[in-house]
Structure 1
Amino acid sequence: MRLIRSIATAGALTALAAGATTALSATASAAPNTTPQAVCGSAYKTVNSAAVGSLGTVYLTYNSSNGKNCVATIRTNPGTATYMSAYVYVPDTEEWAGDDGNFTSYAGPAFVDGKGHCVSWGGSIDNVYVSVENSNCSALKEHRVTGVR
């Protein structure tokens, strides 16, 4: 009887340890919060941003050495995959780039040649979106729209 109790106790402790390991690894494997530079590249500096409600932020970055803009939408609290998007558009040249899909942490990167041009950009998380038109240029005043789809 003592041997059966010892085996049962050892089995229960093993199951408890395995459950704790699984619980801890689930937390550890969730995508860590990231930065626009981690998504776009270390040479990209954040030049503008827009909140996507309380769900996250869309970042517009610029690399002065190559003249490219990059956009990334980053969730405040990474977790279960949900629909996200990031886009950037140069009206003067009609160059467009974007990324969308079900992601756990961020959408992007999306790159365009933006040197010397106004850019329009934005993104979404779940059903909340933000768009910024005529941004980061001196000639026009930017226009922001945030809403729920």
Structure 2
Amino acid sequence: MRFTRSVLSLAAVTALAAGSTAFLASPASAAANTTPQKVCGSGYKTVNSAAVGSLGKVYLTYNAANGRNCVATIRSTPGKALDMSTWLYVPDTEQGDSDWGTYTSYAGPASVYGKGHCVDWGGNIQNIYVSVYGSNCAALKEQRVTSIR
């Protein structure tokens, strides 16, 4: 009887270990592998974001120490390289920055001085484009546009 319990216990532990190994070996690509702070820098705090369909988000961040805004477009599920972009523009100063290409996880950073100014920003993943105009302007209401091309 002891032998049977030992064999059954060993079989249970072996099955549990095999299941755990299979679970741990599954790809971690179900979640984004970066954050806006990893893309833009540790001093940046997320102040706004916009969904790019179900494919990811565009994040607007701000660094109070240097007055700069930064934008990053981050996929929900990293994987095969896709067309992506991120952009940022300050209409008052006519300053802007952008990044575009074929990426597996994120596009960016795009950074510009924006302290005290309204900013326009956005990005795309594949054929879904998001633009936010007049953002972070205190009393003014921003305008969001999503288009599929």
TM-score range, shorter chain: 0.7 to 0.9
Q: In the alignment, is the contact (CA less than 8 A) between 2:32 and 2:74 conserved in 1?
A: no
Partner of 1:128: 128
TM-score scaled by length of structure 1: 0.79
Question: Structure 1 residue 28: deviation in Å?
Answer: 6.9
Contact 2:32/2:76 (<8 A) preserved:
no
Where does structure 2 lack aligned partners over 5 or more consecutive residues?
Answer: 1-23
Residue type of the alignment partner of 2:130: V
User: What is the letter of the counterpart of residue 121 of structure 1?
Assistant: W
Distance in 2 (alpha carbons) for counterparts of 1:134 and 1:67 = 17
Over the aligned positions, Cα root-mean-square deviation in angstroms equals: 2.1
Alpha-carbon offset, residue 59 of structure 1: 0.1
**3-state secondary structure, aligned to 1:80:** coil
- Does the aligned pair in 1 maintain the 2:45–2:62 contact within 8 Å? yes
Question: SS of the residue aligned with 1:46?
Answer: strand
Counting only pairs closer than 5 Å after superposition, residues 1-149 of structure 1 correspond to structure 2 as 27=27, 33-149=33-149
> For 1:50-105, what per-residue CA distance to the aligned partner results, in whole angstroms no more than 9, with x for missing partners?
00000000000000000000000000000000000000000000101000000000
Identity fraction in percent: 71
TM-score by structure 2 length?
Answer: 0.79
User: In 2, Cα distance between the equivalents of 1:118 and 1:139?
Assistant: 11
Letter in 1 for 2:41: G
